[in-house]
Structure formats: C-alpha cells, structure tokens
Amino acid sequence: MQRSRRDFAFAVAASGAGLGSLGRRLVAARERRPGDGMQYGLVTYLWGQSWKLPTLLANCERARCLGVELRSTHAHGVEPSLNKQQRRDVARQFADSEITLVGLGSNERFDNPNPAIVRKAIETTKAFIVLSHDVGSSGVKVKPDRFYPNVPREQTIEQIGTSLNELGAFADKYGQQVRLEVHGQCAELPTIKAIMDVAQNKNVSVCWNTNAADLTGAGLAANFDLVRKRFGATLHVRELETKSYPYAQLIELLVRSDYQGWVMLEASSKPKEPVVALAGQVQRFRQMVMAAQRG
C-alpha cells in the first residue's frame, strides 16, 4: 500500500536526525558539531493563527515542530488579561506536551515621538514579560519600528534603545529576554546595531527577521556579523525554499557561528494543509543544517 504525501512528510519529520528527542540522542552518540544546538519552531503568524491551544500543540507534535512563539491577539488566547489560574493552565498544557513555549510575540514598538504612547508601549511590554514568565516562556518579541518626519533619526534610535534598556532591567527580575525583531523602517542592520549600541542591557537581544534589507550594503554575511553577538534565543525565517532570500547561506552562517537558539518559521503563505506543510519545513530545515555541517 502506497503512503500518501502527508504520511511521508510526517514520517520524515519524525525520523530526522539532528533535532528532537531522537535527534538529541543521535547527537550525543557522536562528536558534537557546530549547529547541533539549533532547533526549529513555529511563529503563529499565519500558520496556526486560528488554532486554539490544544489544537496548536497537537498539530505541532504531529509535524515534529517542537517549539512555538505565540503571536498576540490570535486564537490561542495567551494574553496579559489571563488570570493566575488561566496562566497556570497554559503552562500545564505545554508541560504535558512535547512542545516548548519559546516566546510571546507582542506588537509593541518604541518609536513614537509622543512620550505617552511610548510609555504605554513600555508598560504593555512589561505585562507581556510577566505573562511570559508565568506561562513558562523565556522572552517577548518587540519591534523598533519607524522614523517620523521632523524627528532626527539619532533621537529615535536613542529613544528606542533607552526604552529597551528599561525593559531589559525589568525582564531581569523574571528571567526573560526582550527580543528586538529586525522590522519596519529600522530593518537595515546598521540601524539595528545603532539601537543595540544604546540598548546594552544583557537581557535585550536581536531577533533576525530575514528581510530584503539583510542583503543590502555589504551583503548578508557582513550584515549578519554586525549583530550576531547580540542574537537572542529566536530568529525568524519564511519558507526555506523561498528564492528571494539566500537561506542556504544564512544556515551556513548560523552553523559556522554555532547558533544554539530557535529558528522560527514566520510563514507568509496559506497552504491548504498547514500541518503537512509544516512537517515539510521541519524536514527541509534539518536537511539544510546537515548540508551546512558537511561544508
């Protein structure tokens, strides 16, 4: 009896070496190589946005995608409005599954010239940091995000960096990371580096976001090196077969620098069978990591 494409994708995802419980045992049985610490997960941006938490956990287990970043406002409902019991219930559901809650994705940003708006964004992010701690996650994603007319760029960069320092100090009390997504008009890597030069708090990190701007100026490798030392536990990718971005080169850079965080899929497509598609991305990621390790 022939297997369907769906069954084949799930079987390959489950059996892939290098990641997951079986992969970790295989890694332990041989000499460790750069890149072995990388894991693959899902940002619930489009894929997973309509799944309630039990469905999300079951679908990720089925696809062998063992980490998630939960986007705010989506169907899983993990929001700062949850009470203590609801937060414990979220943590329990993850503890009872194979899935790691890697982070929470807020939509907060610190660019506005209105101080009251920036203060509200900071306080909302603090609420997400407490939530992240309570549900067993390790960090919160935020955005920089844009420049305003008649406001000097240097002033906006300083404002964003100062806001991040305050959040980093707050996050330290809860064992959390503040993850600055490379996003918006601030997506050019020299701009992100300038922000991070201000945001020196150890709990503030860069979340690489595979943007077209990564390829500008001196190119991907040079831009990667500008901020690599400030990478946090997550970075975002689109579908790995996307032709407009050199994903093989990015994976090589991650392997060469021995990145040990989560490569998180923030997919932009809308497949008919997202669980099958997710399993396929898990398989592709493993193949690309192994190819980079072979050199």
Extents of the domains making up the chain: 5-24+36-294
CB 291 within 8 A of CB 254: no
pLDDT given at position 152: 98
- Tens-digit pLDDT profile for residues 59-97: 999 999 999 999 999 989 999 999 999 999 999 999 999
- Tens-digit pLDDT profile for residues 160-197: 999 999 999 999 999 999 999 999 999 999 999 999 99
Mean pLDDT along residues 139-147: 97
Q: What is the CATH number that goes with domain 5-24+36-294?
A: 3.20.20.150
Mean pLDDT along residues 236-260: 97
pLDDT given at position 18: 40
Cα angle 263, 208, 40 (rounded to 5 degrees) comes to 5
What b-and-e string marks burial along 148-179, b requiring 16 or more CB atoms within 10 Å of the CB? eeeeeeeebbebbbbbbbbbbebbeebebbbb
pLDDT band (50, 70, 90) for residue 10:
low
pLDDT band (50, 70, 90) for residue 22:
low
Largest CA distance in the chain: 68
pLDDT given at position 158: 99
Average model confidence (pLDDT) across the chain: 92
pLDDT band (50, 70, 90) for residue 8:
very low
pLDDT given at position 3: 47
Cα separation of 244 and 258, whole Å? 25
pTM (2 d.p.): 0.89
Per DSSP, helices labelled H in 143-273 are 153-172, 189-198, 220-227, 247-256
Cα angle 126, 268, 161 (rounded to 5 degrees) comes to 30
Neighbouring C-beta atoms of residue 122, cutoff 10 Å: 18
List of residues 6+ apart from 77 with CB closer than 8 A: 52, 53
In the three-class reduction of DSSP (H, G, I as helix; E, B as strand; rest coil), residue 103 is classed as strand
In percent, the amount of the chain with pLDDT more than 70 equals: 90
pLDDT band (50, 70, 90) for residue 6:
low
